Structure 1
Amino acid sequence: MELFGFPIDTVYLFLLIASASMVILYILFGDVLSGADDGIPFFNPTVLLAFVTIFSAVGYCLETFSSLTSLYILLIAIGVAIVMDFLLYYFVLIPLSSAEESLVYTEESLSGRTGKVIIPIPQDGFGEVIIESSSGMISKPACGFDHEPIAEGKTVLVIDVQKGVLYVKEYDPIFQDK
């Protein structure tokens, strides 16, 4: 079969090369189109580029390696591209869009959290506290809230944070895992 005077497998190949090039450009310059996916979800550039790429790749492979007629290959390629696009959209893009944007913490977010003293806090001095978070361990300088000494290994509660220094009190939870 021919399309625009070219064999159909050549059309699929050119479409595959063009869509792969567009995917690379979209990866590099995709922030320019950042608002384009706010409307209808299936007109998202990522979904459209994935559809064209999958459609052309399946069409080219089937034209090259199978003995099916071009009409069946076209229908199979469209079907596979729709299914793969559906899976990409609902199992990759939607979860990624609802994922947390950043794992960065702010000083205000540390207040009220508990940590463990790794360098003892002397009276009127500084030690170090480590706080577990979703992005790993946060190690910060600390001093006693009421200027009391706190021994290494004790669990502390962050009362305040000022200029990067945690002001902590020794913490003894009522309900502990034992």
Structure 2
Amino acid sequence: MEQLFWACLAGGALFALVTVIFGDLISNAIDGVLDFLSIDGLWKIRPMVLVSWITSFGGAGLLLAHYTALGSLWVVVIALAAAIGLSILIFVAYVRPMENSENSTAFSIRELSGLIGEVLVPIPPRGYGEVLLKVGAGRTNQIAASFDGNTLAAGERVVVVEVRDDTLFVSRLDDALNGE
């Protein structure tokens, strides 16, 4: 039994070491070949959860076999229970939150058309200024010009009418609402 526990512990530790050191390199090389290991369903079994189960089974089995007077059957049963508990904990505390945290803050300047912002640097009739826009959870400031040829003072609310040559063409929000 001890050989099984050592094999599980060593195999899991080796897998963890290899994935930490060479994870991205291997992932790019095999490009999704191992995606079949992720089982969707009521409990999403991920390779990390499976390997943590194997590793904790081996570690718990070794500890119980060496430091308790329990029989082999009880050692296996308790090691299985400990492995299941630790795997559930890893899934709930690490894997699921990390899956939900994969968000990008990137945006395209073309997506800014129609957004409402505030003038930071005044925009002259035939020149450039700067506007502040809310994009997703963050804010961005961009170079802007007046769409209507009007002067726009700092602090005015504007709407992005058009995007040309990496410049936002904006109009005063009140003018845009009144159809002027």
Q: TM-score, normalised by structure 2?
A: 0.73
- Structure 1, 111-120 or 73-82: larger mean CA deviation: 73-82
**Runs of 5+ unmatched residues, structure 1:** none
Give the percent of matched residue pairs that are identical in Structure 1 and Structure 2: 28
Find the counterpart in structure 2 of residue 40 from structure 1: 39
* 2:59 match: 57
Name the CA distance, whole Å, in 2 between partners of 1:100 and 1:151: 39
1:165 to 164, 167, 175: 167
Equivalent position of 2:113 in the other structure: 111
Q: 1:49 to 1:58 in 2, by over 3 A?
A: same
| Counterpart check, 1:138 vs 2:137 | no
What is the rounded CA distance, in whole Å, between the counterparts of 1:100 and 1:159 in structure 2? 31
Relative to structure 1, the CA distance from residue 81 to residue 119 in structure 2 (aligned partners, 3 Å threshold; closer, same or farther) is same
Residue 18 of structure 2: aligned partner: 25
Distance 1:121 1:64 in 2: 77
The alignment partner of 2:35 has SS state of coil
* Aligned mates of 2:120, 2:145 — CA distance in 1: 12
Counterpart of 1:84 in structure 2: which amino acid? L
Looking at structure 1, the residues matched to 33 and 161 of structure 2 have their Cα atoms a distance apart, in angstroms, of: 41
Partner of 2:80: 78
State the distance in 2 between where 1:80 and 1:68 align.
Answer: 15
Q: How many residues align?
A: 167
CA distance in 2, matches of 1:120, 1:145: 14
Question: The residue matched to 1:169 in structure 2 has which SS?
Answer: strand
Is the 2:61–2:76 Cα contact (8 Å) retained in structure 1? yes
Deviates more, 1:57-66 or 1:106-115: 57-66
Q: In 2 relative to 1, CA 50–163 (structure 1 residues): closer, same or farther, beyond 3 Å?
A: farther
- Root mean square deviation of aligned Cα: 3.0
Q: Deviations over 1:69-98 (max 9, x none)?
A: 332232122223223334544665455445
Of 88-97 and 165-174, more deviation after overlay is shown by 88-97
Partner Cα distance (1:64, 1:167) in 2:
74
Q: Deviation per CA, 1:116-152, whole angstroms, max 9, x where unpaired?
A: 2111111111111122233532121111111211111
Bigger mean CA deviation after superposition, 34-43 or 23-32: 34-43
Distance 1:167 1:101 in 2: 29
For 2:51 and 2:142, the matched residues in 1 are separated by 45
Assess if the C-alpha contact under 8 Å between 2:119 and 2:155 holds in 1: yes
Q: 1:133 to 1:58 in 2, by over 3 A?
A: farther
